[in-house]
Structure 1
Amino acid sequence: MKRILITGMNSYIGTSFKKYMDQFSDDYQIDVITLKDDTWKKKDFSSYDSIFHVAGIAHADVSHVNEETKQLYYQVNRDLAVDTATKYKQDLNGKKGQFIYMSSIIIYGEETNINKKRVITSETTPNPSNFYGDSKLQAEIGLNPLNTEKFHIAILRPPMIYGPGSKGNYQQLVKLANKLPIFPDIPNERSMLHIDKLCQFVKERVDQQDSGIFFPQNDKYVRTSHMVRDIAKANGKTIYLFSWMNWAIRLLGFTPGKIGRLTNKAFGNLVYEKKEVVRGKCQ
């Protein structure tokens, strides 16, 4: 039986993974721990085959925060991750173990464009556009030296994660789908990841006990308008897609300021190349 410890009590990803793994309860023992206080420092991690680290501060409105809040992002997303992995390695005392860290596509910056396809490959250099993305990247850099032949660091850089109960940008699409009768049918492409596919991917990492940098995503790219349409349908609503104003919406993508920013965020193109696994050290 493999033993897995999830760090991050009540997190969406951690809770979803634990629920997903219930179907394999004969072969896996899943424990969950909070890192919000210092009690975790007294816990012995040596009995776990893998630690799935999902504790962290999620993406917020990065334009309206003070310096103290920025430092909190680094303390939680970077320092806490490195400290947890370091303690795990020390507790193992030479035994094999695997630390799985949830990073994000955000480390490449938030740049998207309705008029240009942006493809991230294994050779793309991370370039965070804000402190949130940088805190994730700095965690990767801090974890990298801990990786050895016996202690494996697996870094996951997923795109937008969605599914029942998910938050963040996905909820913005849900609101649009529930309110709007029509929606522009812009043929854009986005890499996204359903929560069930992520859970399956994490299980595979545990089974393989491998290390490296991983780019999990859905088998197919997602068009924003199609996702909005499907969300509306799932909620018993009908939303009509139109394309006759696409030229005007594309022009909005060139508009400076908030309008252009929102247009590119909603209909921009941002994809990973069709490749899930990259082994090696973080850049």
Structure 2
Amino acid sequence: MAAPDRLMDRTLVTGATGFVGAEIVRQLRAAGTPVRLAVRTATGDAEEVVVGDIGPDTDWATAVAGVDCVIHCAARVHQMDDRAADPLAAFRAVNRDGTAALARQAAAAGTRRLVFLSSVKVNGETTRGRGPFAASDMPAPQDPYGVSKWEAEQVLHAIAADTGLEIVVIRPPLVYGPGVRANFARMVSWVARGRPLPFGLCHNQRSLVSVTNLASLAITAADHPAAAGATLFASDGDDVSVRELLVRIGDAYGRPARLLPVPPALLRLAGSLTGQRAAIDRLCDPLCVDGEGARRLLDWQPPVTMAATLRDMAARP
């Protein structure tokens, strides 16, 4: 990672106890950077500020006071089985309106820069029939979560134009590493239990990013002069098919993946018949991002490999 020109005065990390936020806090503290944690409920950390639920009326005044940079990780995350009566309204309240309130209050407090953890879902769900998503592509979100993140990005750039607050947007694909949950954790569990999996013919390429690498990129973007106003894609730089990913998980866990050669067309048909077509499409479709732009712009390289991250996961059950 390229060394920043100067040590940041103080960095605020929102969602500081979450999967990504906690890793950012860990790396900042390891580097000796003063850090403040914005949390929903108290954990007892001496540097935390409790902000409660995030929305348009959240009071960020105490959290942003004296802060040079904000790394904004807190969000209403994508949910496979959303029970909200109006999912789009629920996502907008937190991801768009809550982010806007934070940015306006941070700018008023004299904060220099805000790094926003967005999502590849701003660009869409698949790169089937095209090259990797790039910053120059027209956004095409297809679900309420992606829409809310794209709208948040637009609001942030408008606030930047009005106030001078520097905005950096990072769009990560699937994030994995020790402590990961949801779909990736399920895949690990399948392999670790020796479950036969019908993905032996799934050769689609997908970009992933280790939580260690994503945190490193966010910290670099927080202080690098060239990052201001940029949209960056985060990735390990090691795209893999679902088949190859399962093989690598098996290697790391010492349990070879048991893969059955089922054609993806049959998997999609089964998904349609069982109401799981969207989940199957995510496993069978390609979704790649152009992470080279971030590496070149910030003179940054991912500090860990996929193999090292998977071994770390296996070592920490």
Give the TM-score of the pair, scaled to structure 1: 0.83
Q: Say if 2:288 is the partner of 1:275.
A: no
Moved more, 205-214 or 48-57: 205-214
SS in 2 for 1:276: helix
Deviations 1:150-195, CA, capped at 9 Å, x for gaps: 4210011111111110123312322322231455142221011111
User: 2:125 corresponds to which residue?
Assistant: 110
The match for 1:129 among 138, 142, 147 is 142
The match for 2:175 among 161, 176, 191 is 161
Share of identical aligned residues, percent? 21
Question: Residue type matched to 2:37 in 1?
Answer: V
Go from structure 1 to structure 2 and tell me whether the alpha carbon gap of 1:72 and 1:47 turns closer, same or farther (over 3 Å shift): same
Moved more, 253-262 or 202-211: 253-262
Q: Which has the higher strand share?
A: 1
Q: Give the whole-Å Cα distance in 2 for the aligned partners of 1:40 and 1:197.
A: 31
Question: 1:46, CA displacement in angstroms?
Answer: 4.5
Question: 1:255, CA displacement in angstroms?
Answer: 7.2
The match for 1:208 among 207, 219, 224 is 224
| C-alpha contact 2:15 2:72 (8 A) present in aligned 1 | yes
Gaps of 5+ in 2: 1-6, 40-50, 298-317
Question: Residue type matched to 2:233 in 1?
Answer: F
Q: Say if 2:25 is the partner of 1:18.
A: yes
User: 2:159 corresponds to which residue?
Assistant: 146
Moved more, 218-227 or 83-92: 218-227
User: Where do residues 1-283 of structure 1 align in structure 2 (5 Å cutoff)?
Assistant: 1-2=7-8, 3-25=10-32, 28-34=33-39, 35-37=51-53, 40-43=59-62, 45-61=64-80, 64-67=83-86, 69-92=87-110, 97-111=112-126, 116=129, 119-148=132-161, 150-179=164-193, 180-181=195-196, 183-209=199-225, 210-211=227-228, 212-241=230-259, 245=261, 248-253=263-268, 257=272, 258=275, 260-277=277-294
Question: 1:260, CA displacement in angstroms?
Answer: 4.7
Moved more, 51-60 or 180-189: 180-189
Give the TM-score of the pair, scaled to structure 2: 0.75
Question: 1:230, CA displacement in angstroms?
Answer: 2.3
Question: Residue type matched to 2:77 in 1?
Answer: A
Q: Give the whole-Å Cα distance in 2 for the aligned partners of 1:168 and 1:121.
A: 26
Aligned length: 268
| C-alpha contact 1:216 1:276 (8 A) present in aligned 2 | no
Deviations 1:4-59, CA, capped at 9 Å, x for gaps: 1011242111101111223211xx11110123257743416242221001111111
Question: Residue type matched to 2:35 in 1?
Answer: I
Q: Give the whole-Å Cα distance in 2 for the aligned partners of 1:259 and 1:41.
A: 40
Moved more, 200-209 or 178-187: 178-187
Q: Give the whole-Å Cα distance in 2 for the aligned partners of 1:62 and 1:143.
A: 29
Q: Give the whole-Å Cα distance in 2 for the aligned partners of 1:7 and 1:137.
A: 19
Gaps of 5+ in 1: none
Go from structure 1 to structure 2 and tell me whether the alpha carbon gap of 1:117 and 1:269 turns closer, same or farther (over 3 Å shift): farther
Question: Residue type matched to 2:66 in 1?
Answer: S
| Cα RMSD for the two superposed structures | 2.7
